[in-house]
Amino acid sequence: MVGFLARHEWKLLTASAVMRLVLIVFFLVIGAATLLGTARAARERQTYDVFQQRAAQQRAQPLSLRADVVANEKGWLAVVPPAPLAALAVGQSDVYPSYLRITARNLDALVTGDQIEHPLAVASGHLDLAFVVLFLYPLLIFAVSFDLTATERDRGTLRMVLAQPVSLREVVAGKMIARVVLLAIPIAVIPVVIGSVWFATAEFVVWTVAVLVYGLIWHGLALIVNARGWSAPANALVLAGVWLMFAIVGPATINLLIAVRYPMPSRVEAAVQARAATQDATLQGSRQLGQFLQDHPTSANVGRDGMRQFALLQARRDQQVADRLQRVEAAFDAQLERQQRLAGWLSVLSPTMVMQDVLLDVAGTSANRFEHFRAAAEAFQHEWQQYFEPRVLDAATLTPGDIAAAPVLAYSPEPATAILMRTALPIAGMLIVGLLLLLSGFKVYERYSL
């Protein structure tokens, strides 16, 4: 019976001119977002390929065979590979490092190349599928369901329908099912059609499940508002307010609360502390190095012994500075982690914030994927340093064979299961909230006055 009602409702929905307009706009926006995202991801992929090739060429034909030039001045360029679902959500990929330069030094072992983009572009956000899912999808859920039964009740047709052997619960369930399916299909299908590359990957399955679960929350909210028995315009106004509070004002207010109550540790203060902590070691080391040697060792006037001595002094100084720097950085990182944990708890209050975290994690444009890459790069740095440090200290000239035998970074991205493990809890949480909302919606509908 519910199936029949849902099919009937489907016909009514798809026959309505207004609904068609709403759906066409929805299709267009999803399409545009997917195209923009795919183009962006293609560009990223292309840049990645170009620089992988370039790095391979430079290893085959190095500019210099001096060990410190190969190991430190050029180093290893580790480009962060684009994530498989990067086309779906730009996330933080416009500010996080897009590459790391790895050297054999103790200091500046990993130099991050933060992504650069017009600050206005970062501030404006991106029209990607994540944006559509987070903001537009809930709005459209409300747009198609603000008048589940109000107008039919006011016209008296609902009473006639209920004269048939169906219950109000079944009628409402049929209407809900038709609406859930109607909106879920384009948002799940269009990205696959336009960017068919990532169809059926595990990540995409998680993405789709998360989207459907997120939708349930908003359908549930719509159901509860409808069940209150107000008129259709009143429902529309209340739902607009609900959307505004949960999707826009809520996250913005929570972010304000976080900024004021749990401010991020100051990078500025950390920079001053790092300067103070390393000052002695830097100055002492510099004096030992000799003023000229520190910056401009010319092979002509110091000879190889001089070069060796210089390299050793420099390595010792770098070690001392790096040790002190590490303490400051570790303190900063611990403080930042504490702040993010507290901030994370507050964001549970908004489904949009929870969902945003999940989507970026699945798309591979959140901190997690980058941290994973960084850990791999750090492990590789140790290999690189172990291989090159003795040769640098020896002021050696390398042979092409030495360079060919140097370690190579082989990065395999995080397995999908790791992402699944991280996102399972928030998705399950959203599912429970969504189901509870739907259940209470039906519960309230029991007292619906015809």
For residue 263, the SS3 value is: coil
Q: What residues numbered 214-273 form the site for other proteins, per CB under 8 A?
A: 232-233, 236-237, 240-241, 244, 248-249, 251-260, 263-269, 271-272
DSSP single-letter state for residue 111: E
The residue (of 162 and 232) whose beta carbon lies closer to other proteins is: 232
Q: What residues numbered 12-41 form the site for other proteins, per CB under 8 A?
A: 29, 36
Q: What residues numbered 37-96 form the site for other proteins, per CB under 8 A?
A: 44, 47, 51, 54, 63, 77, 79, 91-92, 95-96
Residue 424 to residue 419: CA distance in whole angstroms: 8
Q: Which two tokens stand for residue 368?
A: 């997690």
The residue (of 248 and 432) whose beta carbon lies closer to other proteins is: 248
The residue (of 131 and 214) whose beta carbon lies closer to other proteins is: 131
| Identified binder of other proteins from the candidate list 275, 304, 382, 443, rule CB under 8 A | 275
The residue (of 234 and 431) whose beta carbon lies closer to other proteins is: 234
The residue (of 270 and 418) whose beta carbon lies closer to other proteins is: 270
Q: What residues numbered 114-133 form the site for other proteins, per CB under 8 A?
A: 114-127, 131
Determine the distance from the C-alpha atom of residue 426 to the mean position of all C-alpha atoms in its chain, rounded to a whole number: 15
Under a CB-based contact definition with an 8 Å cutoff, are residues 368 and 89 in contact? no
Under a CB-based contact definition with an 8 Å cutoff, are residues 147 and 179 in contact? no
Q: How many residues bind other proteins (CB under 8 A)?
A: 90
Q: What residues numbered 181-220 form the site for other proteins, per CB under 8 A?
A: none
Nearest distance from C-beta of residue 136 to other proteins, angstroms: 8
Q: How many residues does the chain have?
A: 450
Asked whether position 352 contacts other proteins by CB under 8 A, the answer is yes
Nearest distance from C-beta of residue 235 to other proteins, angstroms: 11
Q: Which two tokens stand for residue 258?
A: 């976080």
The residue (of 269 and 446) whose beta carbon lies closer to other proteins is: 269
Closest among 127, 115, 120, 123 to 39, alpha carbons compared: 127
Amino acid at 17: A
The residue (of 134 and 158) whose beta carbon lies closer to other proteins is: 134
Nearest distance from C-beta of residue 162 to other proteins, angstroms: 26
Nearest distance from C-beta of residue 427 to other proteins, angstroms: 16
| Identified binder of other proteins from the candidate list 61, 164, 196, 291, rule CB under 8 A | 291
Over the window 355 to 374, marking each residue x when it contacts other proteins by CB under 8 A and - when it does not, the resulting string is: -xx--x-----xx-------
Nearest distance from C-beta of residue 439 to other proteins, angstroms: 28
Asked whether position 413 contacts other proteins by CB under 8 A, the answer is no
Nearest distance from C-beta of residue 75 to other proteins, angstroms: 11
| Identified binder of other proteins from the candidate list 19, 42, 107, 139, rule CB under 8 A | 139
Task: Using alpha carbons, list the distances in angstroms from residue 375 to 15, 149, 328, 387, 404.
Answer: 55, 55, 19, 19, 24
Give one DSSP letter per residue of 317-378, joined into a string. Answer: HHHHHHHHHHHHHHHHHHHHHHHHHHHHHHHTT-HHHHHHHHHHHHHT-SHHHHHHHHHHHH
Over the window 301 to 330, marking each residue x when it contacts other proteins by CB under 8 A and - when it does not, the resulting string is: ------------------------------
The residue (of 3 and 241) whose beta carbon lies closer to other proteins is: 241
| Identified binder of other proteins from the candidate list 28, 283, 334, 425, rule CB under 8 A | 283
Q: Which two tokens stand for residue 132?
A: 């559509």
The residue (of 114 and 378) whose beta carbon lies closer to other proteins is: 114
Q: Which two tokens stand for residue 129?
A: 């599928």
- Residue 103, C-beta contacts closer than 8 angstroms, at least 6 positions apart: 71, 72, 75, 76, 109, 111, 381, 384
Residue 169 to residue 173: CA distance in whole angstroms: 6
Nearest distance from C-beta of residue 33 to other proteins, angstroms: 9
Residue 18 to residue 30: CA distance in whole angstroms: 18
How crowded is residue 138: how many other Cβ atoms within 10 Å of its Cβ? Answer: 26
- Strands across the sheet containing 76-79: 76-79, 97-102, 110-114
